[in-house]
Amino acid sequence: MRLLDALQYPLPIGGIVSILHRASGVMMAVLLPLIIWLFDTSVTSEISFDRFASAFTAGIGFVPGILVKLVVLGLIWAYLHHAMAGVRHLWMDATHQVTKEFGRSSAIATAVASIGLTVVLGAKLFGLY
Amino acid sequence: MAIQHGSQRLVVGAHFGLRDWLVQRVTAVLMLVFTLLLLAQVLFTAGPIGYDKWAGIFAQQWMKVLTFVVIVSLAWHAWVGMRDVWMDYIKPVGTRLVAHVLTIVWLVGCAGWAVQVLWRL
């Protein structure tokens, strides 16, 4: 089968959650220095804490604050999706719940919960409440 | 004494894949526990969280120990995951080796930085 033929088949929701599990993991591994920088500046001192806080408004170096917020929003989603998809795997490992129906319904639950929580936390990040 | 079946390599005994599989799950559970404990401390802190309260969470000895364990877990977990990704998409042995080495350098470097931050609190 050529790749072009394979693309004719729609990816089931379980497949989408699976590839996003991988993508979110790679994203967090690549952005690890940013995560540690945020941890570093937020806990080291009051002065560094101000730098941490202003990263979301004034930005970091030449990177504008809005871009920092968007990247952090991406990280929030990546963490939530990765963790929830991981719990789904652990659940399947522990209970041997490997039916087609459970695969589909748990994948939908994972996607909905991670996106929903991202919206809630994202609204906080962007100061909507 | 392990039995060698013909010219095939021994398929059990060296934990081919099993240890990585288990490590990925154990480290995942540790990170989940850390996440929930950190979240609980943030939620049960009265009033707005400024520098003092936030840094105070990580200044407790038990939290430092847990965070240290999580930093090591994260690096190990990410190593297993990134190795899976390279094994799936990079076939030439040389290129894959370079990717593995760079990943180890990246993760060990990041873990070292995180531990340094934690240690001086």
Domains for chain A: give ranges and CATH numbers: 12-125 (1.20.1300.10)
- Can you tell me whether residue A63 is helix, strand or coil? strand
Write out residues in chain B with pLDDT < 50, as ranges: none
> Count of domains in chain B?
1
Residue B109 lies in a domain: yes
In a domain, B26, yes or no: yes
**Closest-CA residue of chain A to B102:** A30
Residue B79 lies in a domain: yes
Nearest by CB: B121 against A25, A43, A49 = A43
A26/B85 CB distance under 8 A:
yes
Give the residue ranges of chain A where pLDDT is below 70: none
The closest of A13, A63, A3, A2 to A37, measured between CA atoms, is A63
The answer to whether residue B9 is domain-embedded is no
pTM: 0.90
Q: What's the CA gap between B121 and B111, in Å, rounded?
A: 16
pLDDT, one tens digit per residue, over B49-62 is: 999 999 999 999 99
Provide the pLDDT for residue B10: 63
The CATH number of residue B83's host domain is 1.20.1300.10
CB distance A43–B110 less than 8 Å? no
Asked if the structure places residue B12 within a domain, the reply is no
A52-75 residue pLDDT tens: 999 999 999 999 999 999 999 999
Q: Would the CB atoms of B51 and A25 count as touching at under 8 Å?
A: no
Owning domain of residue B113? 18-119
